[in-house]
Amino acid sequence: MTSDVLISPSFILIFGAFLLPVVSGWARSALVLVLPLLTLGAIWQVGDGVQMTAQFLDYQLELVDGSNLSRLFATIFAIMAFAGGLFALNQKHVIELSAAFAYAGSAIGVALAGDIITVFMYWELMAVGSTMVVWSGRTPQAGRAAMRYALVHLFGGVVLLVGVIAYIQDTGSIDFTLMGAHSFATWMILIGFLINTGAPPLSAWLPDAYPEASWSGSVFLSAFTTKTAVYVLLVGFAGEQILIWIGVYMIFYGIVYALLENDMRRILSYSIINQVGFMVVGAGIGTEMAINGAASHAFTHIIYKALLLMSAGSVVYMTDGKRKCTDLGGLFQSMPLTAIAGIIGALAISSFPWTSGFVSKSMTNQAAYDTDMMVVWFCLIAASAGVFLHAGIKFPWFVFFQKDSGLRPKDPPWNMKAAMVLFSVLCIWIGIQPGPLYALLPYPTDYQPYTSAHVYEMLQLLLYAGLAFFVLLPMMKRKLTITLDFDWFYRKLAVDSAASLAQTTSKFLAGCVWIRDNVVNAVIDMASHHHNPKGVLARTTPAGVMVFWVVVVLFAYLVLYLFV
Amino acid sequence: MSEENETQKPDEKPHEPLLDINGEPMHWLVRPMTIKLLWLGGIALLAFVTWLGTTVHPHAEFVIEGTLGFYSWYGFITCVAMVIFAKFLGVGLSKRDTYYDE
């Protein structure tokens, strides 16, 4: 192993994760807060180019390979680990924190990986860490959801591994660089990556698993898996046209399913797919503006989505697990800080001017506009309004306002409030001062989000989307329903088919038993009836009877002879 | 008898506080009067931003984008369309939330 950096930033969190269970009390809290900060420091020490290598079989792995894009993603992952850790300080189950830190460290490992084998190894480690986080929800539902989650991600991992092996076979290189979907190998890699973005048809793993995690677990989950997938798409498949349409599908899928949803954390999960859709479109457009847009959107999205899930997590924490819109409402009266944090997150996700979403997502829209992609642009504009509709208003309205549920939970403990305040401030600060974020982007940019035309356009779009929400409120009324998705095939059809196959088999076996009991036994009974020692065909008759019959026959013969 | 009835008339007690579901005084933000004012303010705000949109020089690359109040009506109509589409989809795909547990 050769290294120009002291330590790979990902190692700090991954190995630190194993330290958490062996300490307790304030030492654990200190470790939870210090490890991400150390990681952040280490990330900022990573220069451009390959910084750390290691020998594996015949290959030289590039464990740390710095660039603007990789540092941007690694930075936000470390910030997220810090705020998530702060929010989760009162989490009693340390295994969740350990898993979350290993998961975050692996995500940073993917962002800094220079070769495709390293990407794959960290990719699989992420799947293990995130499955453990889902499982840490510690309910029967969470256990089953974790199993389904693991199956989808292990499947994705196998597809990716097939692609990686075929790619190395084809090219002889393990470099992770722009590859484009031109061969079987690169298609497999692309599909493996897309499964983690929540792309169709396997989107359902995300809203299935994330809401089942604990109040703190879903905050971690929202950040890493989908955004590392966006990162690898930006590196390996920028400019791949098909991504534009996959992204547009994801955007509207997220909106429509979120509109029908009743569980507040599932609403936010669908909205992750919606937001990642914007980033996938950016990767598909592939211009410098689009890649800057997707990268900055990923950065700001992690902050405001985590903020929204912290707000939702605080409600879950303070109401002993209530998460359905039909059970909530009116909470703003007793948990004002949580409500305000939720509203700030909701405004940011909707790209409201002076929030972080406005200065990031609009770059992707601008990229579509600049490249004359009219249909895509109209879709993105409609979707920007739709984001306000399904997440921007729907989440705060149904949780904190609407009809009064009579629940009066207090705001959560100080550390959870501190995490929400930190991310609320970041949402607004980046929105007002986008300069520092723009300086971190992969390409230099002089993009000006705050032109009066742009601000007025966005205000019109969002406020009229708000009008549509309140005008259509009777249609938005929540019921105790879920909406079927592709997971129906493996949760219902496959299960029912297996059950009916089992039933058919057992009926067949029961039929066999019936045949044994009735037909075969009847044959045996009949045979034994005739052939048993006293049966008509097997019994012995006395010699006297024989003589009697001989006499009868002879007598009959005599009569015939004499008289006929 | 008649006196009792008269004392129960709401007109006789104009200052009785509105109560919420728990029987506590209702939060000012959810009183009917506030909601009415919010609606009025909201409508004024909508008219204002549409007017603001007309004050800037249109840089429309796609023709339709230059139409009057494009972002206002486009935002409203697409949202209505998305809600209706979602409702339509829900007819076939909505199930009780215990569907998978049964």
Name the amino acid, one letter, at A464. Y
Of A369, A377, A468, the CB nearest to B80: A468
Contact criterion met (CB below 8 Å) for A15 and A101: no
**Nearest chain A residue (CA) to B73:** A464
A187/A95 same-domain check = yes
Name the amino acid, one letter, at A560. L
Give the residue among A295, A280, A304, A312 at the shortest CA–CA distance from A352: A304
pLDDT at position A50 over 60: yes
The answer to whether the CB atoms of B82 and A386 lie below 8 A apart is yes
Please give the average per-residue pLDDT across A187-208, as a whole number: 95
Of A374, A475, A482, the CB nearest to B87: A475
Of B20, B76, B79, the CB nearest to A404: B20
Contact criterion met (CB below 8 Å) for A307 and A424: yes
Please give the average per-residue pLDDT across A305-330, as a whole number: 94
Q: What angle do CA B27, B28, B31 make, to 5 degrees?
A: 90
Contact map slice: B 40-69 vs A, CB within 8 A: 42, 45-46, 49-50, 52-53, 55-59, 61-62, 69
Q: What angle do CA A224, A226, A231 make, to 5 degrees?
A: 85
A163/A227 same-domain check = yes
Strand partners, A49: A66
Please give the average per-residue pLDDT across A523-538, as a whole number: 84
Name the amino acid, one letter, at B49. V
- Assess whether the previous peptide bond of A201 is cis (omega < 30° from 0): yes
pLDDT bin (cut points 50, 70, 90) of residue B2 is very low
What is the DSSP-derived secondary structure letter of residue B26?
P
Name the amino acid, one letter, at A537. L
- Condensed to tens digits (0 to 9), the pLDDT of residues A461-471 reads 999 999 999 99
pLDDT at position A240 over 90: yes
Residue that is last in its domain, among A450, A479, A508:
A479
Contacts of A357 (CB under 8 A, 6+ apart): A297, A300, A301, A304, A347, A348, A349, A350, A351, A427, A431
Task: Please give the mean pLDDT across all residues of chain A.
Answer: 93
- Give a yes or no: residue A487 inside a domain: no
Q: What is the C-alpha separation between A70 and A66, in angstroms, rounded?
A: 6
Strands A59-66 and A481-483: unpaired
- Condensed to tens digits (0 to 9), the pLDDT of residues A53-87 reads 999 988 999 999 999 999 999 999 999 999 999 99
Give the residue among A249, A234, A244 at the shortest CA–CA distance from A292: A234
Test the B interface: residue of A408, A464, A475, A483 with most B CBs within 10 Å: A464
Of B22, B80, B95, the CB nearest to A482: B95
Contact criterion met (CB below 8 Å) for A307 and A260: no
Contact criterion met (CB below 8 Å) for A394 and A328: no
CA dihedral A450, A453, A456, A459 (to 10 degrees): -60
Give the H/E segment covering residue B76. Answer: helix B70-93
Give the H/E segment covering residue B55. Answer: helix B32-55
Of A49-63, A289-303, B80-94, highest mean pLDDT: A289-303
A458/A530 same-domain check = no
Cβ burial A462-496 (10 Å sphere, 16+ → b, else e): bbbbbbbbeebeeebebeebbbbbebbeebeeeee
- Condensed to tens digits (0 to 9), the pLDDT of residues A365-381 reads 999 998 888 899 999 99
The answer to whether the CB atoms of B76 and A467 lie below 8 A apart is yes
| Sign for the pseudo-dihedral over CA of A510, A516, A522, A525 | negative
Q: How far is CA A80 from the centre of its chain?
A: 17
Residue that is last in its domain, among A456, A479, A502:
A479
A281/A397 same-domain check = yes
pLDDT at position A155 over 50: yes
A341/A289 same-domain check = yes
A439/A498 same-domain check = no
Give the residue among A437, A404, A389, A425 at the shortest CA–CA distance from A293: A437
Strands A481-483 and B94-96: antiparallel
Q: What is the C-alpha separation between A361 and A23, in angstroms, rounded?
A: 42
Please give the average per-residue pLDDT across A287-303, as a whole number: 96
B72 contacts in A (CB within 8 Å)? 460-461, 464
ipTM of this complex: 0.85
In total, how many domains does chain A have?
2
A433/A498 same-domain check = no
- Give a yes or no: residue A453 inside a domain: yes
Contact criterion met (CB below 8 Å) for A255 and A389: yes
Report the SS3 class of residue B95: strand
Q: What is the C-alpha separation between A198 and A222, in angstroms, rounded?
A: 12
Please give the average per-residue pLDDT across A406-420, as a whole number: 94
Task: Please give the mean pLDDT across all residues of chain B.
Answer: 80
A377 contacts in B (CB within 8 Å)? 62
Give the residue among A500, A315, A477 at the shortest CA–CA distance from A410: A315
B76 contacts in A (CB within 8 Å)? 464-465, 467-468
pLDDT at position A391 over 50: yes
- Give a yes or no: residue A484 inside a domain: no
The shortest C-alpha distance from A464 to chain B (Å) reads 5
The answer to whether the CB atoms of A483 and B29 lie below 8 A apart is no
- Condensed to tens digits (0 to 9), the pLDDT of residues A97-129 reads 999 999 999 999 999 999 999 999 999 999 999
A405/A543 same-domain check = no
First to last CA, chain B: 58
Report the SS3 class of residue B25: strand
Q: Provide the residue range defining the domain that includes A507.
A: 492-563
The answer to whether the CB atoms of B79 and A389 lie below 8 A apart is yes
Q: Provide the residue range defining the domain that includes B83.
A: 2-101
Give the residue among A27, A37, A15, A43 at the shortest CA–CA distance from A101: A15
